[in-house]
Chain A
Amino acid sequence: MLFFSFFKTLVDHPVTVELKNDISIRGTLKSVDQFLNIKLDDISVVEEVKYPHLSSVKNVFIRGSVVRYVHLPGSVVDTALLEDAARREAAQASAKAKAG
């Protein structure tokens, strides 16, 4: 759930989503769910000339499984907190592994 938790904090921030088909879409993150499906608003395609068919699209819903990267604005990431969150997650996982 870490990624879900993390991406939730990026809501309303501009991100660039790079898809597995090489299309990069820049837009405002509107919503994300536990499958890391992504809703973007006010989108623009990075290589607009290459994908003219997307030039009139204003918002998109991206299935989480087709996302290759999400480029984040570094300023909105609290790395120390993220580290801690990762530690917690790891601790939980290991606790579960030990229990199971």
Chain B
Amino acid sequence: MSFFGFDATLPRDRGHQNNAPGFSQPHDAFAGLSGRGAGAEDDALDFEDTYDGLADQLDEGDDVLNDDTFGGEPATQQNVGRDFDFSGQTARIAGTMQEEQMLYNARQPPPRASPPKKASKPAATGYEKYKQPEYIPQLEANASIWGLGPKKTAPAAPAAPAAPTYAPQAYAAPQPAPAAPNRRMMSLEEVEAMIRTQSKPQPPTQQAPPMEIPNVASFLGAPAPAVQPQAPPQPQQPQYPGFAGPPQILQRPHHAEQRPPQPQPQVELPAPSMPQHPQILQRNRTPQEPEPASQRQMPRPAQAQREQRESPQPRQILQNPNRLSGQGQPMSPQAHRSQDMGRGVPKGPSHGRGPSFQGQVITDPQQILQLTEEERAQFLAEEAKRAKRNHKIHLLSKDNGLMTPQDKNFITRIQLQQLVTATGNIDAVDAGPEAALVEDFYYQVFSSIRGAPRASPNQPANQFAQTYLFATHGRYGRFGARGPHGRGDNHMQRMEQQVQRAVEAAKAKPKNKQLVIEGSLGKISFSNAKTPKPLLNIKRPDSADARPASAGNRRTSHGMPVLDRKRALRDIENVYSTLLELEGHERHIPPPLTEDSTADEIQAHMEWRSKLQGYNERLWRELKVMEPIVPNSPTPHSFIAILSHAKGKKAIPRIFRHLDEQQRITILTIIVVHLDSLDVIAHALPSSAASPPPAQLPPAVREEIELFSQAIMPPLFSYVNDAPLNIVAGLLGLVLERTHVSLVLRTKIGLAILTMLVSRAELAKQSAPSDSTDADSWNAQFSRLFDVAEPVLPYLFPGSVVGADDVHVWQFLAAMGAAASPEQQQRLVLGVKERVMETVAVARTLPGELKERRLGEVNLFMRAIGLDVELLG
């Protein structure tokens, strides 16, 4: 084989060509022919790839004239000349050979183009009709694609898998097996050397018929040194017509050299002495034809018959390689397939989705390479159209089917749950308005009281909240209780049902707030918008345990203001929390009892009452009003401590609502008893007994005073205004006994409380003058008060006359004046005369309204004692 320039080696054996420069070109030429076939060296060459269809042009009928052409003598070693020189002469013109080959290829495009075409389309029909029993129609290089393993070829043609090159196709027929193992191609020099050396010693034996075929085979397949010499001339000739690749290579040299080797075989081949020769020739030739033959329904039956008879296996080998050969031709059957795929797959995407569309794109280049210009153009046009449509569909439907119905359900559930937790507690569904209040207290209450004018900022809002919530009961917490819910009721109902179902599902699941993964050291805590993940998880000690400890601490640390303050603050908070619970409980009041009330309702009412009572007692306890009064203690009474904080003061009006008469008077009593330790009085006290009250108190103190007069005075007033005279007298007595009245008198709150008591007593005396004992006791108390107050009368007024805020003083003086006896009134006038004159004088210099106000204030007192500012002239 190598002799003829065929590359008989497996791709893996081709390394030798480096040693054979003269024959490297033939291989290259071949590569040029087979196109991409040479590219992937590892795969076997396909016959189709290398076959140029020249055999089609061969007129087999003229074979009979071979003898005429070549001479009748058998080819003998003798008449085969040795005047060839391939490695010398031929190698030198290797470049020319290459060029010639290129030229040849260029000049004969049709035969080149046709074989693939034939292979691609007619091949299928041709093989269908080829119904040899041994024939394995589907054998392909990548037969595995078709589900047929290469095993099938193995038994039929052992050499085929190993050497699917054209070499075995053509010549390895008789004995393929021995040829396959060591197909070591000799370089031309080697062959020539062998021929020259070995032809001489063994001329006679070479013509032995039995040896002929093996010789040829072994020569072609693998160098068999002993036999090779004779063979070369013989196969040389038949190659021209058949093989596209090698013949061209060979022809070129022949043309260039006037085909020197050709004449010799021509003479020799038909030689009668070699009966097998024709067969060999034919067999040599058939390899060139099997492909066309099989595809064209065996134009020469005789030949085919002979071939079949002689060697069915070679036949298969010959055919199989056509199919088997990996790279060039294999494309042709593949082209069919991929074309089918190309047409099939494209349709897929249009009905399907993205992925298959992409897959098709990937296969495209391969297909297109196999198509003719026309087909390609058409295909590309179609493809473009289809791709455009698919792209559109793809764009439209790119998210189709991403979620299963289950997924959607799942998401809906999550959203609904979020909705539930966003508007209220999960328990909101059953718990009622209270639950909405739990989550949304501020908003609910605020919106309930908004717009409604509030009598005072400390008026309990929850009364409003209560009515509000009852009014909106039933549609409280869907999306917050605001906005009209009328529209979309149907939709809302469905929503509600869904929410309910979702909530039930959520409840059914055990609540797992933490996940401890086995083997891990930490915990994973879940969070949602309502209950954010706690960054610190502090286990609080039970407050019951903590309280005694701090209490003990408190007891031992008398006089430590910090602890007192803390204690007071804690007390206040306890009061508030109880107060909140109490108010919450109040909202749960059962429907009022009627005569028709059932036992259950009555029972509920009773329970509610008792519970309310429990709250009340708790609140009372926490107010610490009943703590023992320790005279002259450095620590203020607990209740007074509570009152010394702003929020404690703010709690009083709310607490008063829930207290009964007895509790109220107790509170009043405690306050009165501790008047001078009240912060609003103690902090406002003048530095010395003789000095007037500080004109300008610190802002914080002024704020407290303001707050006290706004928060605590009204409930006290409201109580005192109903109090009987004896109680008022008793209270005044307590003030006189327990406090430094002279100091208390010089504070705003002190004056206010005394004014309150005195004025109430006067009213009580007038409304119920009957009880003389009470009046007597009151008069006694008042006289004591007057005696204490008289010396400090000039110092009652805070600050200077100009711009002083002294209305409370005038009020007190007015109350005193009203209650005083005529003699006391005289003393009173004397005591404050100077201040009255100054004030009136200043007031007269003031512009209209201010002047009126100041004069009015003074007049409060003046009129109380039967005088008027106007009289002062």
Q: Which of B446, B537, B540 contacts A78 (CB 8 A)?
A: B446
Contact (Cβ within 8 A) A87 B650 = no
Given A92-B438, A100-B513, A5 and B443 touching (CB < 8 A)?
yes
Contact of A84 (CB < 8 Å), options: B480, B531, B580: B580
Q: Please, how many angstroms separate the alpha-carbon atoms of A92 and B566 in the complex?
A: 22
Interface centre among A1, A5, A9, A33 (most CB of B within 10 A): A1
Knowing A9-B446, A80-B458, the reply to whether A34 touches B529 (Cβ < 8 A) is yes
A97 in contact (CB, < 8 A) = yes
Whether A81 touches B447, Cβ cut-off 8 Å, given contacts A5-B439, A6-B442, A98-B540, is no
| Bound complex: CA A61 to CA B647 (Å) | 37
In Å, the complex CA distance between A57 and B573 comes to 46
Complex CA–CA separation, A92 to B457 (angstroms): 26
Chain B residues with CB below 8 A from A80, complex form: 457-458, 461, 650
Q: Which of A35, A85, A97 contacts B538 (CB 8 A)?
A: A97
CB-based contact B440/A1 at 8 Å: yes
* Closest Cβ–Cβ distance, residue A51 to chain B (whole Å): 31
Report the Cα distance A25→B444, complex, angstroms.
28
**Chain A neighbourhood of B447, CB < 8 A:** 8-9
Contacts of A4 in B (CB 8 A): 440, 443
A2 part of interface (Cβ distance < 8 Å): yes
Contacts of B537 on A, CB cut-off 8 Å?
100
Contact pattern, A 38-73, Cβ under 8 Å of B = 1, otherwise 0 = 000000000000000000000000000000000000
Specify the chain A residue showing the minimal Cβ separation from B424.
A1
Interface flag for A20 (CB, 8 Å): no
Judge whether A94 and B529 touch: CB under 8 Å: no
* Interface majority SS (helix, strand, loop, mixed), chain A: helix
The interface residues of chain B lying within 8 Å CB-to-CB of A87 are: 573, 576-577, 580
User: In the complex the two chains form, what is the Cα distance from A83 to B457 in whole Å?
Assistant: 13
Per-residue CB contact flags for chain B residues 432-454 toward chain A (1 = under 8 Å, else 0) read 00000011111111110110000
Q: Is B351 an interface residue (CB 8 A)?
A: no
Nearest residue (CB) in B for A94 is: B540
* A9:B577 contact, CB within 8 angstroms: no
Query: Out of A5, A35, A91, A92, which one reaches B442, CB within 8 Å?
Result: A5
Complex Cα distance A98/B539, Å? 7
A85 surroundings in chain B (CB, below 8 A): 441-442, 445
CA distance A94 to B534 in the complex (A): 12
Q: How far is the CB of B69 from chain A (nearest CB, A)?
A: 96
B443 engages A6 (CB within 8 Å): yes
- In angstroms, Cα B443 to Cα A87, docked, is 14
- What chain A residues lie within 8 Å of B443 (beta carbons)? 4-6, 8-9
Chain B residues near A83: list those with CB within 8 A. 576, 647
Question: In chain B, what residue has the closest Cβ to A97?
Answer: B540
- Interface flags for A1-43 (1: CB within 8 Å of B; 0: not) read 1101110110000000000000000000000011100000000
CB distance from A6 to the nearest CB of B (A): 5
Judge whether A91 and B438 touch: CB under 8 Å. Answer: no
Q: Which residues of A contact B392 (CB under 8 A)?
A: none
How far does the alpha carbon of A9 sit from the alpha carbon of B441 in the complex, in Å? Answer: 11
Chain A residues whose C-beta falls within 8 Å of the C-beta of B538 in the assembled complex: 97
Knowing A87-B573, A94-B540, A100-B513, the reply to whether A81 touches B442 (Cβ < 8 A) is: yes
Question: Using a Cβ–Cβ cut-off of 8 Å, how many residues does chain A contribute to the interface with B?
Answer: 27
Across the interface, name the chain B residue whose C-beta is closest to A3: B442
Partner of A88 from B438, B461, B531, B650 at Cβ < 8 Å: B438
Report B-chain residues with C-beta under 8 Å of the C-beta of A6.
Answer: 442-443
Chain B, residue nearest A92 (CB): B438
Tell me the smallest distance from the CB of A95 to a CB of chain B, in Å. Answer: 10
Q: Once the chains are docked, how many angstroms separate the CA of A10 from the CA of B848?
A: 42
Beta-carbon contact of A91 and B440 below 8 Å: no
User: A97-B540, A98-B540 known; A88 and B446 CB under 8 Å?
Assistant: no
Give the interface SS of chain B, mostly helix, strand, loop or mixed.
helix
- CB of B784 within 8 Å of the partner chain: no
- Give chain B nearest CB distance to A15 CB in angstroms: 15
User: Measured between alpha carbons, how far is A58 from B444 in the docked complex, in Å?
Assistant: 30
Contacts of A5 in B (CB 8 A): 439-444
Residues on A with C-beta less than 8 A from B844 are none
By a CB distance below 8 angstroms, the chain B residues around A98 are: 540, 542
Residues of A within 8 A of B736 (CB): none
* Bound form: Cα–Cα A89–B530 in Å: 12
Q: Are B441 and A84 in contact (CB under 8 A)?
A: yes
Question: How far is it, in angstroms, between the C-alpha of A35 and the C-alpha of B447 when the chains are bound?
Answer: 21
Minimum CB–CB distance for B312 against chain A, Å: 83
Residues of A within 8 A of B368 (CB): none
* Chain B CB within 10 Å, residue with most, of A4, A35, A91: A4
Contacts of A1 in B (CB 8 A): 439-440, 530
- Encode B629-653 as 1/0 by CB contact (under 8 A) with A: 0000000000000000001001000
Q: Which residue of B lies closest to A6 (CB)?
A: B442
Interface status of B422 (Cβ within 8 A of chain A): yes
Residues of A within 8 A of B530 (CB): 1, 34
Contacts of B580 in A (CB 8 A): 84, 87-88, 91
Contacts of B422 in A (CB 8 A): 33-34
Question: How far, in whole Å, are A88 and B538 apart by their CA atoms in the complex?
Answer: 19
Taken together as a complex, chains A and B put the C-alpha atoms of A91 and B441 apart, in Å, by 13
Nearest to A78 among chain B residues (CB) is: B446
Question: Chain A's nearest CB lies how many Å from the CB of B14?
Answer: 69
Shortest distance between the CB of B463 and any CB in chain A (Å): 13
How far apart are A99's CB and chain B's nearest CB, in angstroms? 10
User: Using Cβ atoms and an 8 Å threshold, which residues of chain B touch A35?
Assistant: 529
Of residues 831 through 868 on chain B, the ones whose CB sits less than 8 Å from some CB of chain A are none
Residues in A neighbouring B445, C-beta threshold 8 A: 81, 84-85
A88 to B436 Cα, complex, angstroms: 13
Q: Nearest Cβ distance between residue B221 and chain A, in whole angstroms? A: 81
Q: How far is the CB of B524 from chain A (nearest CB, A)?
A: 15
Residue of A nearest to B446 (CB): A9
| B462 closest partner in A (C-beta) | A84
Residues of B within 8 A of A9 (CB): 442-443, 446-447, 450
A2, A5, A8, A35 interface centre (most CB from chain B within 10 Å):
A5
> Bound state CA distance, A92 and B706, in angstroms?
33
The reply to whether A84 and B513 contact each other, CB–CB distance below 8 Å, is no
Instruction: Determine whether the beta carbon of A88 is less than 8 Å from that of B441.
Output: yes
Most buried by A among B442, B577, B580: B442
Render B488-528 as a binary contact track against A, CB cut-off 8 A, 1 for contact. Answer: 00000000000000000000000001000000000000000
Q: A34-B529, A97-B540 are in contact. Are A84 and B438 (CB under 8 A)?
A: no
Closest to B459 in A: A80
What's the Cα separation between A1 and B528 when bound, in Å? 11
Chain A residues contacting B444 (CB-CB under 8 Å) are 5
Nearest to B437 among chain A residues (CB) is: A88
A80 to chain B, nearest CB (A): 6
Residues of A within 8 Å of B650, CB to CB, are: 80
B554-612, CB < 8 A from A: 573, 576-577, 580
**Alpha-carbon separation in the docked complex, A78 to B480 (Å):** 19
With a cutoff of 8 Å between Cβ atoms, the chain B residues found around residue A89 in the complex are 441
Q: A88-B580, A94-B540 are in contact. Are A81 and B446 (CB under 8 A)?
A: yes
Least Cβ–Cβ distance between A5 and chain B, in angstroms: 4
Q: State the CA gap A56–B755 with chains docked (Å).
A: 62
Q: How far apart sit A1 and B437, CA to CA, in the bound complex (Å)?
A: 11
Beyond A1-B440, A97-B538, 19 additional contacts (C-beta under 8 Å) are: A8-B443, A8-B480, A8-B482, A9-B443, A33-B422, A80-B457, A80-B458, A81-B445, A81-B461, A82-B442, A83-B647, A84-B576, A87-B580, A88-B441, A89-B441, A91-B580, A92-B438, A94-B540, A97-B539
A residues with CB within 8 A of B = 1-2, 4-6, 8-9, 33-35, 78, 80-85, 87-89, 91-92, 94, 96-98, 100
Nearest 9 Cβ contacts at the A-B interface: A85-B442, A5-B443, A5-B442, A9-B446, A8-B443, A85-B441, A34-B529, A5-B440, A1-B439
A-B CB contact pairs (8 Å), 23 listed: A4-B443, A5-B441, A5-B442, A8-B482, A9-B443, A9-B450, A33-B422, A34-B529, A34-B530, A78-B446, A80-B457, A80-B458, A80-B650, A81-B449, A81-B461, A85-B445, A87-B573, A89-B441, A97-B538, A97-B539, A98-B540, A98-B542, A100-B513
